[in-house]
Chains A and B, each alone.
Chain A
Amino acid sequence: MAGAFAAGRASEASPSSAGPAREKTYPFRGEHQAGIDTPVQDRLHFAAFDVRTESREELVALLQAWTEAAERMTGGGPAGPVGPVEGASNLPPDDTGEAIGLPASGLTITFGFGPSLFRDASGRDRFGIADRRPEALARLPHFPADNLDPARSDGDLCIQACADDPQVAVHAIRNLARIGFGTVAVRWSQLGFGRTSTTSVGEDTPRNLFGFKDGTANVKSSEAAALDEHVWVGAGDSPGDWLAGGSYLVARRINMTIEVWDRQPLGDQENFVGRTKDSGAPLSGGSEFTEPDFDLPGSNGPAIPTDAHVRVVHPDLHDGARMLRRGYNFVDGTDALGGLNAGLFFIAYVRDPRTHFIPIQNAMARSDALMEYLKFTGSALFAVPPGTAPGEYVGQSLFDA
C-alpha cells in the first residue's frame, strides 16, 4: 500500500532538488520504532499532546489512525487515503498539501507515552493502564537551575518527526495533529534544525549553538551491544514487558544565553567544554575520538578542568551509563530584549532514566561550568513503545492486556 503512495509523490519531485538522500525512506514498521537509531536527519518537529477523551476506545482508535497516517507519510505518501487534491471539491482534503512534490526526505515518526497517560494529576487511572506504568516512567524530578515553563513541558503523548526537509517534518506533525483534534490537543511543539549529534559513524559530528562539536561519545547504531545495554528497554524491565524493545525519551528545552557566551575568551570556552573548539579533541590531547584522560596534569590542575562539561557527564563517572542523543538546535526568534531565544532541544533515548539521565543531569547542575550559560525551560519524559509489526498499531502492546 505504501509503495503506491510513495510512487505517487516521489514521481512528482523535480530531479534537481531531489537527490538520492532526499528520496530516502525508512520503513515505519520494524522491531524498534524508527527515529531512534536511524541516522539523524537534519530537521525536527516535535509535539506533545494532552489527551482530551476519557474513552480508551477513542484513544486506541487515534493510535490506529496515527499508525496508518504515519506509515503512509514515511513512505512518501499523503496523510490520508485520498490525498491533498484528489478528493471531492466540497470536502477539506485529507492531506494538507504542503508536501506535494516533496520526497520522503528520510522522514521518521516516533510515538511516545508520558507518565500522565497512565494516571492524571489527581491519581486517577485514566485508561485502565495504570498498573502497566513502569516505575521508571515518572515525571522527571526538579533539577537545580530548572526554570520550566509548564506550557513547554510534559504531555500525555509525544510525536517526534525528523526529516531532511523541514517542510516534510512540519507536514507530518500538522497532519497528525489534525487527525487528533477532539481526541487530543497539542500541548506544545518545538522546531529544531541542525542536528547536534550523530547516531552513525559515517556522519560528521555536528556543532551546537555554542559552536562546539556535540555528542562525540554518542551511542551509534552500529554498536548493537551498547544499544541493548543503554538504549533498548529489556525483558523484565516493564510490567508485562510491553515496553521491551522500546526506550525512554528525555526531552529538555535548554536555552543558551548566547550573547553572554559569545563574549567568553576562546580558552575559557574550551575549558568549560573540555574540548578544543576546532577539532573537538579532548584537552588531554589527541583527536576528536581520543578518549579523554581526566588524570593528565595540566599547567593549572588537570588538563581537563574538574568542572569541564566532558568530565562531569562522562560515562566513567556514572557507572558507564551512555545515552543515545538526538537533539537539535533551535532558534525561536528573539526575546523581548533582543537576545536570541535559542539553544538546544535536547533529546536522549535511554534504557532507564533513573540510571542513564537523572544522575547525570544532577551532576551537571551541581558542577558543570556550562550551567552558567544554560536555562532549562522545558522538560518531559516519555516511554517509547517498541516497533510496530504489520497489522498492529503503535503502542498496541500497552493496550493488549
Chain B
Amino acid sequence: MRKALIVTALLVAAPALAACTENTDNGGGGESGDARALTVNSSADACELSATEAPAGTLTFDVTNTGDEVTEFYLLGEDGLRIVAEVENVGPSLDRKLTVNAPAGEYVTACKPGMKGDGIRDAFTVTESDEDVKVSTDEQELVTAAQTNYAAYVQDQSDQLLVKTREFVELYEAGDDDAARELYPVARTHWERIETVAESFGDLDPMMDAREADLETGQKWTGWHLIEKDLWPARAKGYTVLTPEERTTYAQDLLTNTETLDGRIQDLDFTVDQIANGSRGLLEEVATGKVTGEEEYWSRTDLWDFQANVDGAKVGYDGVRPLVEQKDAALAEQLDARFAELQELLDAERSGDGFVFYDEMSADQVKGLSDAVNALSEPLSRLTAAVLS
C-alpha cells in the first residue's frame, strides 16, 4: 500500500458513513434499465448526470472525465458540506466507479475539474423505495468512538516511544551495551505498533528506520538500524565500531527525530478507513519485512517487531470491529479467528519477557507464521471496504 496515504488524506474532510464498496452486479448487462446505475460526465465546464434522481438503495455513479484536467466527483448532503461519498483523482479520459448506499433525501452532486473550488454543483434527489437503507443512528457514535480511541492509542504509543528512546540513547551513549541491547526491541515495539503512521512522514521515516540495504548510493545512514548494527556487529564483516563521539551524534539525531515525530502525531486525526487501512498496512509490514527476518538483520529481534505490528493491526481492527460486525458479520468472525490463530503461533515463540531470536526458528516455524499471516491478510484486505459499506 502507499505509505503517504494517511497524511495526504488528512487534508480532505473525513468521508462519512455511507461511502462505497458493494460490487454492483453488472453481469446482466442491462445497465440502462437500472435506475440506481447513473453515469456522470465531468467535462471542463459541465457535470452531466444521466438522471437527477434515483430510488434509495445502492447507487452507482460511473464517472467519466471528458475534460483535460484531473477531476473529482462528490455526493454531498443537502447542506452541500457533508461528504456522503466521493471519488478522487479521475484523470482525463478515465472513468471511475463510485458506489454508495444512499437513503432517501435531498443531496448535492459536484464535479470538481482541476480539483479546485466548490465544483460544478447540482441538486440530486434520492426517492423512497422498497429497498431499506439502514442508517443506524448509533453508527456515527461507533465511528466517533473508533476515531477517538485510535488517535489516543497512537498518541500513547508515540509518548512511550519517546520515553523509551530517551532511555535507550542514554544507555547507548554511556556504553552500557548490554542494557541497550535489552531495551532495543522493547523501545522499537512502540514504533512498530504505529509503524504505518510513523512511515507516513516521508521525511522522518528514512532518517529513523532505514535499513542499510534500503540506502541509495551516497545516502547517509542514520537511525535505529545503524545503532542496531553497532550493538550487534557479529554478522558484519570488517566492521569498525563507532567512537563515543559518533555514538552521541547518531543517538541525539534519533532522539531529535523521535521528538519531532511525537510532536506531529499529537495533531493527527484518523478516519475509519484510515484506521482500517492502517491495520492492513501493518500486516503488510509483517509479510514483507518481519516474517522474512529482514527487518532486524543484526539483532535478530524480528519477532518483537512482528508482535508489535500485529498489536497495532489488532487495535485498529478492534476499533472498527463494531462497524464491521453490523455490515459484514462473517468477515468479523473470520478476522477474529485468524487474529487469534496468528497470536497463538506467536505466543509459542515467546521466551522470557520477549521472544526467541529469528535465527532460532526452524524453516517450518517460519512457514507456519507466514501461512497464518497470509490467512489473516486476505480477509483483512477487505476490511476498509466493509467499514465504508
- Residues of A whose CB lies within 8 Å of any CB of B are 4, 50, 52, 81-82, 86-92, 151, 178, 181-182, 185
Question: In the assembly, what is the distance between CA of A15 and CA of B24, in Å?
Answer: 30
Stretch of B15-23, B32-40, B178-186 with 4 or more beta carbons under 8 angstroms from chain A? B15-23
- Given A181-B378, A182-B375, 20 extra CB contacts under 8 A: A50-B371, A52-B375, A81-B27, A88-B21, A88-B97, A88-B99, A89-B96, A89-B98, A90-B385, A91-B23, A91-B385, A178-B378, A181-B374, A181-B375, A181-B377, A182-B334, A182-B338, A182-B378, A185-B374, A185-B375
Question: In the assembly, what is the distance between CA of A4 and CA of B273, in Å?
Answer: 35
User: Closest chain A residue to B384 by CB distance?
Assistant: A90
B388 contact from A81, A90, A151, A178, Cβ within 8 A: A90
Q: Give the chain B neighbours of A52 by CB distance below 8 A.
A: 371, 375
Q: Give the chain A neighbours of B376 by CB distance below 8 A.
A: 182
Question: Per-residue 0/1 for B325-337: is the Cβ within 8 Å of any A Cβ (1 yes, 0 no)?
Answer: 0000000001000
A178-B378, A182-B338 known; A90+B97 contact, CB < 8 A: no
Q: Give the chain B neighbours of A88 by CB distance below 8 A.
A: 20-24, 97, 99, 385
Question: In the assembly, what is the distance between CA of A130 and CA of B144, in Å?
Answer: 52
Q: What are 22 A-B interface contacts by the 8 Å CB criterion?
A: A4-B27, A50-B371, A81-B27, A88-B21, A88-B22, A88-B24, A88-B99, A89-B87, A89-B96, A89-B97, A90-B20, A90-B21, A90-B388, A91-B21, A91-B23, A91-B385, A92-B381, A181-B374, A182-B334, A182-B375, A182-B376, A185-B367
Indicate the size class of the contact surface on chain B. Answer: 20 to 34
User: Closest chain A residue to B381 by CB distance?
Assistant: A92
Question: In the assembly, what is the distance between CA of A82 and CA of B367, in Å?
Answer: 32
User: Closest chain A residue to B376 by CB distance?
Assistant: A182
User: Closest chain A residue to B373 by CB distance?
Assistant: A181
B382 at the interface (CB under 8 A from A): yes
Q: Give the chain B neighbours of A86 by CB distance below 8 A.
A: 23, 26
A-B contact count (CB 8 A): 51
A92-B381, A178-B378, A182-B338 known; A87+B371 contact, CB < 8 A: no
- Residues of B whose CB lies within 8 Å of any CB of A are 20-24, 26-27, 87, 96-99, 273, 334, 338, 363, 367, 371, 374-379, 381-382, 384-385, 388
Q: Is the interface of A mostly helix, strand, loop or mixed?
A: loop
User: Closest chain B residue to A181 by CB distance?
Assistant: B378
Closest 10 CB pairs of A and B: A182-B375, A185-B371, A181-B378, A91-B385, A88-B21, A92-B381, A82-B23, A90-B385, A181-B374, A87-B23
Q: Are B375 and A91 in contact (CB under 8 A)?
A: no
Q: How far is the CB of A166 from chain B (nearest CB, A)?
A: 24
User: Closest chain B residue to A91 by CB distance?
Assistant: B385
Question: In the assembly, what is the distance between CA of A88 and CA of B377, in Å?
Answer: 19
Most chain B CB within a 10 A radius of its CB, from A4, A81, A82, A87: A87
Q: Give the chain B neighbours of A151 by CB distance below 8 A.
A: 363
Q: Give the chain B neighbours of A87 by CB distance below 8 A.
A: 23
Question: In the assembly, what is the distance between CA of A89 and CA of B99, in Å?
Answer: 9
Q: Give the chain A neighbours of B22 by CB distance below 8 A.
A: 88
A81-B27, A90-B388 known; A182+B374 contact, CB < 8 A: yes
Question: In the assembly, what is the distance between CA of A50 and CA of B367, in Å?
Answer: 11
Most chain A CB within a 10 A radius of its CB, from B96, B97, B363: B97
Q: Give the chain B neighbours of A92 by CB distance below 8 A.
A: 381-382
Question: In the assembly, what is the distance between CA of A339 and CA of B295, in Å?
Answer: 32
Question: In the assembly, what is the distance between CA of A53 and CA of B377, in Å?
Answer: 16
Most chain B CB within a 10 A radius of its CB, from A88, A90, A181: A90
Q: Give the chain A neighbours of B367 by CB distance below 8 A.
A: 185
Question: In the assembly, what is the distance between CA of A89 and CA of B22, in Å?
Answer: 10
User: Closest chain B residue to A53 by CB distance?
Assistant: B375
User: Closest chain A residue to B334 by CB distance?
Assistant: A182
Q: Give the chain A neighbours of B385 by CB distance below 8 A.
A: 88, 90-91
User: Closest chain B residue to A50 by CB distance?
Assistant: B371
Q: How far is the CB of A81 from chain B (nearest CB, A)?
A: 7
